[in-house]
Amino acid sequence: MCPMKPASPSLLVCLLWGAAGGGALFAATLPEIEVEAPPEMAAAAARVRAFDRRELLPVLRLLGVEDPGAPIRVVLAPEGSDLARAAPAWVAGYAYGALGTVVVFPARAPPYPEDSLEELLHHEVAHVLIVRAAGYREVPRWFDEGLAMVAGRSWGLEDRARVTLALLPPRDLTLTELEAWFGEAGRAARAYALSGAFVRDLLHRHGSDTAARVLGLVAVGVPFDEAFRRATGDTLAAAEAAFWRRQNLWSRWVPLATSSATLWIGVTLLAVYAMRRRRQRDAALYALWQAEEAARAAAAVAVEADGETVH
């Protein structure tokens, strides 16, 4: 239960129960979001300003952040801007965690793992909060991205299909190897899926406050690997090896139950279906944004023309 009562948005406080029933209450102040956008992106800016910041409460709980700190600056950048030219075309947004700044390109359909502008904003704001929870100290990219995935969206069919495809045929992977994949257009989606799967598995096995405990230790200067060991009781290497064994067990067991051809066809069809639905949603969302911007531009022209006629 989260009791809500009238309050200034910047002072809005909510109490959340611990993930384990009967846990201690957790008090968190909602982060403030400041939006910067050029006039031609007024419709997208309005969508961001309408974002319900209460949706960030589970993120604060997950990270153990009660005071989110200074307002988070969200910059909406149009195509053709310096910011857009500096980012790969497949990147729809990114965060400068240490600066408390998120950059979003509304004209680009959000790629996996996001489905909408709101989910993209949720994901990137989570990155800023992760940096603050870690006391501005560095954590591995896979942990950062995996946490942002868990914080920002539910685990669905597309995620499971991507994890399975990434591990078929069964192969030896390392979390360090995933670090490089995030920067490659062809592998980024697999890196997100696998990182999200690892962090989700970690929280399931060691408790929903595991990430908060790791980040809290990192914030006071404990190296990440040692913070991980103290928070989970396992070394990172042992936890990683166990995770890959469990995942590869799934990948090896399925072919024993059916032919490899049928498996590949089934998994591929599931993945294609999920990705096709995503493209359809992205196209519809982009068309809606374009229509909103066109209508606004037409209204502005009409008002200007009417003013000239009156004059």
> In this predicted model, what pLDDT tens digit does every residue of 150-208 receive, in sequence order?
886 656 556 666 666 666 555 567 888 888 888 888 788 888 888 988 999 999 999 99
Check residue 29 and report its DSSP letter. E
pLDDT at 119: 87
- 269 φ/ψ angles, rounded to the nearest 5 degrees: -65, -40
Tally of helices (H runs) and strands (E runs) in the chain? 12, 6
pLDDT exceeds cutoff 80 at 227: yes
Distance CA 110, CA 165 (A): 21
Query: Helix, strand or coil for residue 75?
Result: strand
Amino acid code (one letter) for 248: N
Domains and CATH numbers, the chain: 31-296 (1.10.390)
More confident residue, 185 or 279: 185
Check residue 207 and report its DSSP letter. -
Distance CA 222, CA 195 (A): 22
CA 139 to each of CA 134, 135, 235: distance values in angstroms, whole numbers, following the listed order: 8, 10, 16
Distance of CA 259 to the CA centre of its chain: 36
191's CB contacts (< 8 A; 6+ apart) are 142, 145, 178, 181, 182
Which range of 21-35, 123-137, 158-172 scores highest in mean pLDDT? It is 123-137
- % the chain with pLDDT above 70: 63
Digit-coded pLDDT (tens) for 39-84: 999 999 999 999 999 999 999 999 999 999 999 999 999 999 999 9
Distance CA 283, CA 27 (A): 39
pLDDT exceeds cutoff 60 at 263: no
Length reported for the chain: 311
| 134 touches 219 (CB < 8 A) | yes
pLDDT exceeds cutoff 60 at 92: yes
pLDDT exceeds cutoff 60 at 128: yes
pLDDT at 130: 97
**pTM for this predicted structure:** 0.73
Q: What would the mean pLDDT of 3-24 be, rounded to a whole number? A: 43
Q: Retrieve residue 304's tokens.
A: 């200007």
